[in-house]
Chain A
């Protein structure tokens, strides 16, 4: 009898995902016996995340390939694993004070964040279409539940339902695109697809193109690029604030790195046929994201539109499809993680017992009453707008550098002009904080852990702006 050989698996390189899976299940089971006190769950989740982060450095020689070439741990995926673990840890830290105040008592919250992180890690390392699909589903299903975890809140329910219905629809496009790609090339491995295209032995070029377009639609939805962005403002507004920050960083970064891998590894050969389409999407994403943000009055909706516009910049790095683009995306997402978690930390600090104070006008007069917090907010806003000497500037600089190297000058000019537009609504908040008087006294909740997160974020934003080299070396 012939044996089916076991696939080569390097367990050390898989350690982050394995550790987080085990801790996710552990937290789920602990919740059943922990009762009302969730501190133990928080502690266990953070331990799991720290262990996973440390174990990401364990592989000695990169890249390590497992499961017959469908899972690779390289510098890019290790760096993204760190981003994911870091952003999940910050989400949990932000939730410690936010959740009890806003009536989120479900212990599954922490388990779902851990499982979502596993999905993101799988996604960042996937080099096979099926693996990518699996990762995207693990991430999405956790997020659908997390968006609606405020069960009594109508907006949260709306967010979950909208996200689920549109997300399931988009997954359909993604799977269809993958099947067409498989039909055209006869393999689901990204490297295999590239080989078949290179040798010119595709079954049908039409299928290949159709599959590529469907993949752009599917990924476009997952990263919230125009015209597949309509869910983002509603979902970002309705989801609990820590979950919104989480969604804006982790899953978005994971989808982007999968997007990058598919387009830069599998189908770069036919790049000239899809980069025009992607360029239109990128420009539309930047323009609609920025101009949409200008008219918002709710801070979470504003950040949702701003996050859409940032995807536009990131798509430029995918269009560039060189190795510089990959590390530019990695650097950008790390910088973005600091900025977004800091901003949402302040959004959470502004919340009171009965009201979350999500209107932009609530920020009026903050500069007088809470000068330190207003200063932090100013740093985040300037950094999001891409002003030196903060992390956002360097991040944009690398993205534009990668694009210029490949000759996409017009695209970069449009992106820079968009950055200028974005400064308007970022500075609007700064002006409100310093130049206007507040309408009423706010009772800031001033949780020490949330303050600590904001402090970490400010440090990161400035540090990455002044000394970009250490982080940049990690990404290459």
Chain B
């Protein structure tokens, strides 16, 4: 019964090996130039201690919502694509309607200016 896990175990060991190996190799081979900012827990020029009351532009939220919306669409496409032939004509027409409805949504967002950043 355990045989079927051999593949997974090998992959697991390889994943650990590659991860550890990379960390080890960089510490051996990589150039070491330390300065204060670089030794902080977070990089990329972000200040570590700031007030949590920061203001974000509402545009980010709009993009996030639109992203989720059209991302979900992709989620529905995958199982459909796999079963495309088995579902036959019914599945095809059904998906066509799905895309039309999404298209209406896209038209709405586009003309309303939801995709304009400025």
Contact = CB atoms under 8 A, between A and B. Distances in A.
A28 B101 CA distance: 12
Given A1-B85, A25-B101, A6 B90 contact: yes
Nearest to A6: B90
Contacts of B90: 6
Contacts of B88: 3-4, 6
B36 interface: no
B86 A3 contact: yes
Contacts of A25: 101, 104
Contact of A28 (B83, B87, B91, B104): B104
B44 interface: no
A29 interface: yes
Interface residues of B, number: 13
A443 interface: no
Nearest to A33: B111
A28 B90 CA distance: 27
Interface string A366-409: 00000000000000000000000000000000000000000000
B108 interface: yes
Interface in A1-41: 1-4, 6, 25, 28-29, 32
B115 to A, nearest CB: 14
Contact of B83 (A4, A6, A29, A32): A4
A25 B101 CA distance: 8
Contacts of B104: 25, 28-29
Nearest to B88: A3
A6 B91 CA distance: 8
Contacts of B47: none
Nearest to B107: A29
Interface in B77-111: 83, 85-88, 90-91, 101, 104, 107-108, 111
B72 to A, nearest CB: 13
B32 interface: no
B108 A28 contact: yes
B47 to A, nearest CB: 31
B83 to A, nearest CB: 7
Which of B83, B85, B108 has the most chain A CB atoms inside 10 A of its CB?
B108
A29 B108 contact: yes
Nearest to B100: A25
B107 A32 contact: yes
Nearest to A4: B86
A32 B86 contact: no
Contacts of A32: 107-108, 111-112
A269 B84 CA distance: 41
A2 B86 contact: yes
Contacts of A3: 86-88
Nearest to A7: B90
A29 B88 CA distance: 31
A28 B105 CA distance: 9
Contacts of B111: 32
Contacts of B86: 1-4
Contacts of B107: 29, 32
Contacts of A2: 86
A25 B102 CA distance: 10
Contacts of B85: 1
A23 to B, nearest CB: 12
B91 to A, nearest CB: 8
A3 B89 CA distance: 10
B106 to A, nearest CB: 11
B93 to A, nearest CB: 9
Interface in A56-103: none
B78 to A, nearest CB: 16
A3 B90 CA distance: 11
B68 to A, nearest CB: 13
Contacts of A6: 88, 90-91
A4 B112 contact: no
A32 B104 CA distance: 11
A71 to B, nearest CB: 15
Contacts of B112: 32
B56 to A, nearest CB: 18
A105 to B, nearest CB: 14
Nearest to B104: A25
Nearest to B90: A6
A268 B91 CA distance: 37
B98 to A, nearest CB: 12
Contacts of A4: 83, 86-88, 91
Nearest to B110: A32
A1 B85 CA distance: 9
Contacts of B87: 3-4
A383 to B, nearest CB: 41
A29 B101 CA distance: 11
A358 to B, nearest CB: 31
Interface in B29-43: none
A70 B55 CA distance: 46
9 smallest A-B Cβ distances: which pairs? A6-B90, A32-B111, A25-B104, A4-B86, A3-B88, A4-B87, A28-B108, A3-B86, A1-B85
11 contacts: A2-B86, A3-B88, A4-B83, A4-B88, A4-B91, A6-B91, A25-B101, A28-B104, A28-B108, A29-B108, A32-B107
Given A4-B86, A29-B104, A29-B108, 11 more contacts: A1-B85, A2-B86, A3-B86, A3-B88, A25-B101, A28-B108, A29-B107, A32-B107, A32-B108, A32-B111, A32-B112
